[in-house]
Amino acid sequence: MQHTKMVHLWVGLFVAIGIASLFMLAMRVSNITAFAETEGYQLTLNFDNIGGLKVRSPVTMAGVVIGRVSEISFDKEIYEAEVKVTIENQYDNIPEDTSASIFTSGLLGEQYIGLEAGGSDTFLKQGDRFKLTQSAVVLEQLIGQFLVSKASE
């Protein structure tokens, strides 16, 4: 009888660890790494096409995550996507001529915003807007351009 209880205890512990591991994996894949919002300042970017960019997508600089996408909307005056990002307060020295591009990474094709630092001595602050942005590369558009260029040869 005692042996059976011990086996049930170990099986239960193993199942609990398995469920916790699956939960952590699901959080990692879905980009929900924290339940609380981090403190930071907000910047705005405009793109012609954001592809599959989503709220909570990472914002990186030199491969380091420095913030997250906080809001995505459509600017009906200039007909572009408007993306608001929250940058962590510790990264408060981003030059104002920094460029932003949308990239795809990983096996699942997660999209993120990559920043490339400029050389200005003036830094971006709360509410500023990026001047240099490059939209997401859409595979269907690339294939279409390739087929058109081959057809015209």
Q: What is the pLDDT of residues 10-56, one digit of tens each?
A: 888 999 999 998 888 877 766 555 445 568 999 999 999 898 899 98
Report the pLDDT value the prediction gives residue 25, as an integer from 0 to 100: 81
pLDDT for 64 beyond 50: yes
Q: Residue 151: inside a domain, yes or no?
A: no
Q: How sure is the predictor about 142, in pLDDT bands with cuts at 50, 70 and 90?
A: low
- Full-model pTM: 0.70
- 92 and 74, same structural domain? yes
Percent of the chain scored above 90 by pLDDT?
43
Instruction: Report residue 140 as tokens.
Output: 């269907």
Q: How sure is the predictor about 108, in pLDDT bands with cuts at 50, 70 and 90?
A: low
Q: Residue 143: inside a domain, yes or no?
A: no
Q: Do residues 104 and 135 lie in contact, with contact meaning Cβ atoms separated by under 8 Å? A: no
Report the pLDDT value the prediction gives residue 136, as an integer from 0 to 100: 78
pLDDT for 134 beyond 50: yes
Q: How many domains does the chain have?
A: 2
Range of the domain at 18: 1-30
- 114 and 89, same structural domain? yes
- 80 and 25, same structural domain? no
Q: Residue 89: inside a domain, yes or no?
A: yes
Report the pLDDT value the prediction gives residue 65, as an integer from 0 to 100: 92
- 127 and 53, same structural domain? yes
Report the pLDDT value the prediction gives residue 144, as an integer from 0 to 100: 73
